Amino acid sequence: MKKSVIGLSLLYLSASLFTACSSNKSSSPSNISTATGWDYNDKRLGGFTMADYPGQQTGPGLTFVQGGRFTMGQTQDDLPTYEHNNTPRTVSVSSFYMDATEVANIHYREYIYWLRRAYGSDYPEYISKAMPDTTCWRQALSYNEPLVKYYFSHAAYNFYPVVGVNWNQARQYCDWRTDRVNEMILIREGKLKRNPNQVNEDVFNTETYAWGQYEGTVGPKRMKDLDPSGSGTRNVNFGDGYLLPSYRLPTEAEWEYAAIGSLGNNPEPATKRRRGEEVITNRNIYAWGGQGSDTRYEVRNEYQGQFFGNFKRGRGDVMGIAGGLNDNADIPAPVYSFEPNVYGLYNMSGNVSEWVLDTYRPTYDDLNDFRPFRGNVYETYKRVAEDNTLEDKDSIGHLGTRLMTRDELTATNNYDTRDPDARDFKDGDTLSQFVYSFGSTTLVSNEAKVIKGGSWADRAYWMSPGTRRFMQANQSSPTVGFRCVMDRLGSPDGDNDQLTGGNRFGKMKKRK
């Protein structure tokens, strides 16, 4: 009996030791370098820091779009235009996050307010350059003055999509939003304190902060500097995992992929209990999906005849008749109108067309089949030649950039072009006609940008996500708005809490 007890005790001890060894082995990659055996986060061993990273949190306003393969291009006959500029082709896009709605007037007014507070005294031109063109509503034979005066400024239109914003302004809004979101993360995490008195060069900017050129009002939980020769505390950097990547405009492929919503046509999508099947049963014509070519609800019930989106049914008919308004909108509708698609995205067909990042060319057959995009302009930070440090931030608190030189591009094999401006690369324009004939024989130039999706003033044909048009980057329209996206960093399947909503913005997991 005694021997049995001793034997049982030894068995438990062996199991405990095995469990402890197994546990240490499995957890060692987060504590000890598998390359050198040195401890991470140990001041006595040099202080190299590795963050306990819980996964990318979902930024405000965003919803997760799992990437994959899809057929990009037209989903119906090219009858109205015969341009054949959207020939179907198979491409793949990476996972990303996208605004659930178009950017609304209230969001853009918040932006203008912040610019006025930060730069209004010394740089008023910076605010005027950001203002939407409210006169875009004017047409010679229409009375639209109430929209010119009130659409952007009045509370009645707070959550209507902002219009009159050109491509350049939309990109600058994305940059501003990136900084405000990252600043709020650092405030929430105790790295910074609130500072409503930021002006001119003393404003929070993600890059200047990460590179140590902005101090701000230091919070109680500033990062410890484990470098033995360091100052004891430091700013957060990208390696710490707190800062989100930039908000930006979507590429044409990303926008179209999200609008098509092929996920809804997979009969066996992946769940926590099963592996997903690589099957798509059919292809949607419109972003609302699942109804073929229908533009309104046809089942015989109380919803019969209800429109799926905001568009123009026919000449002179933008909303139906009194007592039976078909889409309940004579102009853009509020951004949460109608039902979202399978990704939770509202108004990807109809309401307003949207800017995307791409430079327009009449065809996109020559683009890569992975993350296709035309519009790369390769830049780098300005540096001080003597010690290779970054040049100081400018008068509005941003780091300066410059085009890469041909020598820099030639120094590696990473670039398939030796011109830092790759917007013309392999576009078939051997005679540079887009440059020299612009305005006489063509309106396509490097400043021509793609717009996607139909608007409140368009017929149903333009509701198809595969259709494409363009405008000049400095132009605006009462039918064009925009929404932002953010890159998904790490695994493409969103394998952490933000996919199920458990790691939403404002609820970052506690770190060790």
Residue by residue, what is the 3-state secondary structure of 208-271?
HHHCCCCCCCECCCCEECCCCCCCCEECCCHHHCCCCCCEECCCHHHHHHHHHCHHHHCCCCCC
pTM: 0.87
- Give the residue, 401 or 12, on which the prediction is more confident: 401
316 in a domain, yes or no?
yes
Dihedral angle computed from the Cα positions of residues 79, 82, 84 and 88, in that order, rounded to the nearest 10 degrees: 10
> Which band of pLDDT confidence, cut at 50, 70 and 90, is reported for residue 447?
very high
- Give the residue, 182 or 307, on which the prediction is more confident: 182
Confidence at residue 210, expressed as pLDDT on a 0 to 100 scale: 94
> Which band of pLDDT confidence, cut at 50, 70 and 90, is reported for residue 330?
confident
Q: Which pLDDT tens digit goes with each residue over 269-306? A: 777 777 777 766 677 888 887 655 677 666 676 566 67
Confidence at residue 270, expressed as pLDDT on a 0 to 100 scale: 75
Q: Is 62's pLDDT higher than 50?
A: yes
302 in a domain, yes or no?
no
Confidence at residue 202, expressed as pLDDT on a 0 to 100 scale: 94
Q: Is 265's pLDDT higher than 80?
A: no
| Least confident segment among 320-334, 433-447, 455-469 | 433-447
Confidence at residue 284, expressed as pLDDT on a 0 to 100 scale: 80
411: its two tokens: 């120094």
**Please, are residues 352 and 346 in contact by the beta-carbon 8 Å criterion?**
no
**Which of 26-35, 83-92, 165-174, 457-466 has the highest average model confidence (pLDDT)?**
165-174
Confidence at residue 389, expressed as pLDDT on a 0 to 100 scale: 85
142: its two tokens: 């229409």
Q: Is 508's pLDDT higher than 90?
A: no
Confidence at residue 301, expressed as pLDDT on a 0 to 100 scale: 65
Report the half-sphere exposure of 430 (CA within 13 A, side-chain side). 0
- Give the residue, 27 or 362, on which the prediction is more confident: 362
* Interstrand relation of 320-321 and 233-234 (parallel, antiparallel or unpaired): unpaired
277 in a domain, yes or no?
no
Mean pLDDT for the chain overall: 84
Main-chain phi, psi angles of 23, to 5 degrees? -65, -45
> Which band of pLDDT confidence, cut at 50, 70 and 90, is reported for residue 4?
very low
Confidence at residue 14, expressed as pLDDT on a 0 to 100 scale: 39
504 in a domain, yes or no?
yes
Q: Is 416's pLDDT higher than 50?
A: yes
State the average pLDDT over residues 440-464: 87
Q: Specify the residue for token string 């409210």.
A: 134
Q: How many domains does the chain have?
A: 1
**Please, are residues 212 and 392 in contact by the beta-carbon 8 Å criterion?**
no
The percent of residues in the chain predicted with pLDDT above 70, rounded, is 82
Compute the chain's Rg from CA coordinates.
Answer: 27
Q: Specify the residue for token string 């307010």.
A: 113
Residue 365 gets which letter from DSSP? T
* Own/partner long-range contacts of 73-76 (Cβ < 8 Å, ≥24 apart): 73/466, 74/464, 74/466, 74/467, 75/260, 75/283, 75/284, 75/285, 75/464, 75/465, 75/466, 76/285, 76/293, 76/461, 76/464, 76/466
- Give the residue, 498 or 172, on which the prediction is more confident: 172
| Least confident segment among 53-57, 96-100, 120-124, 413-417 | 413-417
Element housing 4 (H / E): helix 2-27
Confidence at residue 364, expressed as pLDDT on a 0 to 100 scale: 81
State the average pLDDT over residues 415-432: 77
Element housing 114 (H / E): helix 105-119
Q: Which pLDDT tens digit goes with each residue over 188-245? A: 999 999 999 999 999 999 999 999 999 999 999 999 999 999 989 999 999 999 999 9
Distance separating alpha carbons of residues 193 and 159, to the nearest angstrom:
30
**Please, are residues 108 and 353 in contact by the beta-carbon 8 Å criterion?**
no
> Which band of pLDDT confidence, cut at 50, 70 and 90, is reported for residue 78?
low
**Please, are residues 202 and 396 in contact by the beta-carbon 8 Å criterion?**
no
Q: Specify the residue for token string 């996109």.
A: 364
**Please, are residues 363 and 429 in contact by the beta-carbon 8 Å criterion?**
no
| CATH number, position 146 | 3.90.1580.10
Question: Residue 320 contacts by C-beta under 8 Å, 6 or more apart in sequence?
Answer: 313, 326, 327
**Please, are residues 378 and 409 in contact by the beta-carbon 8 Å criterion?**
yes
Decide: helix, strand or coil at residue 11.
helix
The percent of residues in the chain predicted with pLDDT above 90, rounded, is 55
124 in a domain, yes or no?
yes
Confidence at residue 80, expressed as pLDDT on a 0 to 100 scale: 57
DSSP characters for 480-497? EE---EEEPPS-TT-TTG
> Which band of pLDDT confidence, cut at 50, 70 and 90, is reported for residue 436?
very low
Q: Which pLDDT tens digit goes with each residue over 128-153? A: 999 999 999 999 999 999 999 999 99
Q: Is 3's pLDDT higher than 60?
A: no
429 in a domain, yes or no?
yes
Confidence at residue 44, expressed as pLDDT on a 0 to 100 scale: 92
371 in a domain, yes or no?
no
Distance separating alpha carbons of residues 374 and 446, to the nearest angstrom:
10
State the average pLDDT over residues 313-342: 84
Quote the domain boundaries for residue 159: 60-189+242-270+308-365+423-512
98 in a domain, yes or no?
yes
